[in-house]
Structure 1
Amino acid sequence: MKTEHNNNKRLSVTIITIIKPAAYVILLVLTYTLGYLSHSFSTIALPPPILSPQLPPTPPHISSSVLRLSVVNGTELDPFRVKTLCADPIPPENIRQTIINHIFNGDSPFLNFPPPHAAAILHRSTKVKGWGSNGAVFENLIRKVKPKIIVEVGTFLGASAIHMAELTQRLGLNTQILCIDDFRGWAGFRDQFKNIAMLNGDVLLYYQFLQNVVTFKKTGSVLPVPFSSGSALMKLCEWGVWADLVEIDAGHDFLSAWSDINRGLRILRPGGVIFGHDYFTAADNKGVRRAVDLFAKIHGFKVNIDGQHWVIYTTIH
Structure 2
Amino acid sequence: MKEYHHRLPHNIQFLKTRTAYVIILLLTYAFGYFSAYHYRAPSQQTPLTPPLRAVKCAIDSFRVTTRCGDVVPAELIRKTVIDRIFNGTSPYIDFPPNHAGKFLREKRIKGWGSNGAVFDNLIRRVKPKTIVEIGSFLGASAIHMANLTRRLGLTETQILCVDDFRGWPGFRDRFKDVALVNGDVLLLYQFMQNVVSSGFAGTILPVPFSTGSGLEKLCEWGVKADLVEIDAGHDFNSAWADINRAVRILRPGGVLFGHDYFTAADNRGVRRAVNLFAEINRLKVKTDGQHWVLDSVNVN
Query: Shift in Å at residue 89 of structure 1?
Result: 1.1
Pair 1:190 & 2:199 matched = no
Equivalent residue, structure 2, for 1:244? 226
Compared CA separation, residues 257 and 130, structure 1 to 2 (3 A): same
CA distance in 1, matches of 2:198, 2:268: 34
Q: Which amino acid aligns with 2:197?
A: T
The alignment covers a number of residue pairs equal to: 243
CA distance in 1, matches of 2:123, 2:263: 24
CA distance in 2, matches of 1:152, 1:232: 11
1:84 to 66, 70, 80: 66
Query: Shift in Å at residue 177 of structure 1?
Result: 0.1
Query: Shift in Å at residue 191 of structure 1?
Result: 1.3
2:249 to 251, 258, 267: 267
The 10-residue stretch of structure 1 (105-114 or 193-202) with the greater mean CA deviation from structure 2: 193-202
1:144 to 115, 120, 125: 125
Query: Shift in Å at residue 84 of structure 1?
Result: 1.7
CA-to-partner distance for each residue in 1:250-276, whole Å, 9 max, x for gaps? 001110000000100001001100000
Pair 1:110 & 2:92 matched = yes
Compared CA separation, residues 75 and 193, structure 1 to 2 (3 A): closer
CA distance in 1, matches of 2:275, 2:174: 30
Pair 1:224 & 2:206 matched = yes
Output aligned runs, 1:45-124, within 5 Å.
77-124=59-106
2:109 to 128, 153, 157: 128
Pair 1:311 & 2:282 matched = no
Compared CA separation, residues 142 and 294, structure 1 to 2 (3 A): same
2:186 to 198, 204, 207: 204
CA distance in 2, matches of 1:131, 1:187: 18
Query: Shift in Å at residue 186 of structure 1?
Result: 0.5
- The answer to whether the 8 A contact 2:130-2:158 is kept is yes
- The answer to whether the 8 A contact 1:252-1:284 is kept is no
Q: Which amino acid aligns with 1:145?
A: V
Q: Which amino acid aligns with 1:144?
A: R
1:159 to 134, 140, 147: 140
Pair 1:296 & 2:296 matched = no
Secondary structure (helix, strand or coil) at the match of 2:206 reads strand
Equivalent residue, structure 2, for 1:5? none
List runs of 5+ in structure 1 lacking aligned partners.
Answer: 1-72
Query: Shift in Å at residue 75 of structure 1?
Result: 7.3
Q: Which amino acid aligns with 1:197?
A: A
Q: Which amino acid aligns with 1:258?
A: W
* Identity, % of aligned positions: 69
The 10-residue stretch of structure 1 (227-236 or 192-201) with the greater mean CA deviation from structure 2: 192-201
CA distance in 1, matches of 2:168, 2:57: 34
Q: TM-score, normalised by structure 1?
A: 0.74
List runs of 5+ in structure 2 lacking aligned partners.
Answer: 1-54
CA distance in 2, matches of 1:315, 1:102: 27
CA distance in 2, matches of 1:82, 1:220: 32
- The answer to whether the 8 A contact 2:256-2:297 is kept is no
Query: Shift in Å at residue 303 of structure 1?
Result: 0.6
Equivalent residue, structure 2, for 1:169? 150
Name which one, 1 or 2, has greater alpha-carbon Rg: 1
CA distance in 2, matches of 1:213, 1:315: 30
